[in-house]
Amino acid sequence: MRLPKDPSKFSFGATSSTVTSLGIIFGLLSSGNPQASIIGSLLVIAVADNIADSLGIHIYRETTATKKENTRMFTISNFLTRFGITFTFVALFAFLPLEWAATSCMVIGLGILVFLSYLIGVQRKTSTIREILIHLGVALPVIVISHFLGQLIFTIFG
């Protein structure tokens, strides 16, 4: 398998959309209409949060990059990566039963993080297992906290 030479072109967008989407998914599973809540929230994230993050990465790259092409490429790559991952999660909730969709999103999302962590370990010539454990160690608490926060919110206001 040939690994991407520069994972920075998509790593920010992939990580951001994966962790945010999984947090939304598992935070809204307790809602009164989880399928509609999750799909609606993911679509808002796919557009609003995606554009905001893409603009943020664009402005950041403008302040650090030396070529405009690099800035434009990173912005477009970030947007498309985030949109693709988020839309994949939307499609799973649109076409699969709720439990299957949630499980599939978890497997795919954590798989993306494991793959990115592996790439980082290879690129840095460090322990890939260590990188994977560090990044999963951040993502999993986000998912768990989002789930319990969603339950608390829907208990209080539902």
pLDDT value of residue 6: 66
Q: What pLDDT digit, counting tens, does each position of 93-150 carry?
A: 999 999 999 999 999 999 999 999 999 999 999 999 999 999 999 999 999 999 999 9
pLDDT at 5 over 70: no
* Structural domain includes residue 41: yes
* Structural domain includes residue 3: no
pLDDT at 56 over 90: no
Listed in sequence order, the residues at least 6 apart from 95 whose beta carbon sits closer than 8 Å to its beta carbon are 101
Structural domain count, the chain: 1
pLDDT value of residue 69: 62
Task: Give CA–CA dist 47/92, Å, rounded.
Answer: 18
Range of the domain at 107: 8-157
* Structural domain includes residue 151: yes
* Structural domain includes residue 1: no
* Structural domain includes residue 71: yes
Q: Which of 86, 98, 103, 88 is nearest to 50 (CA)?
A: 86
* Structural domain includes residue 45: yes
pLDDT value of residue 16: 85
* Structural domain includes residue 75: yes
Query: Distance of CA 63 to CAs 56, 68, 81, Å?
Result: 11, 11, 22
Residue type, 103: T
Residue type, 65: A
Q: Which two tokens stand for residue 74?
A: 């990173």
Mean pLDDT, the chain, whole residue set: 88
Mean pLDDT of 39-52: 92
Mean pLDDT of 58-75: 76
| CA atoms 140, 25, 110, 52: torsion sign | negative
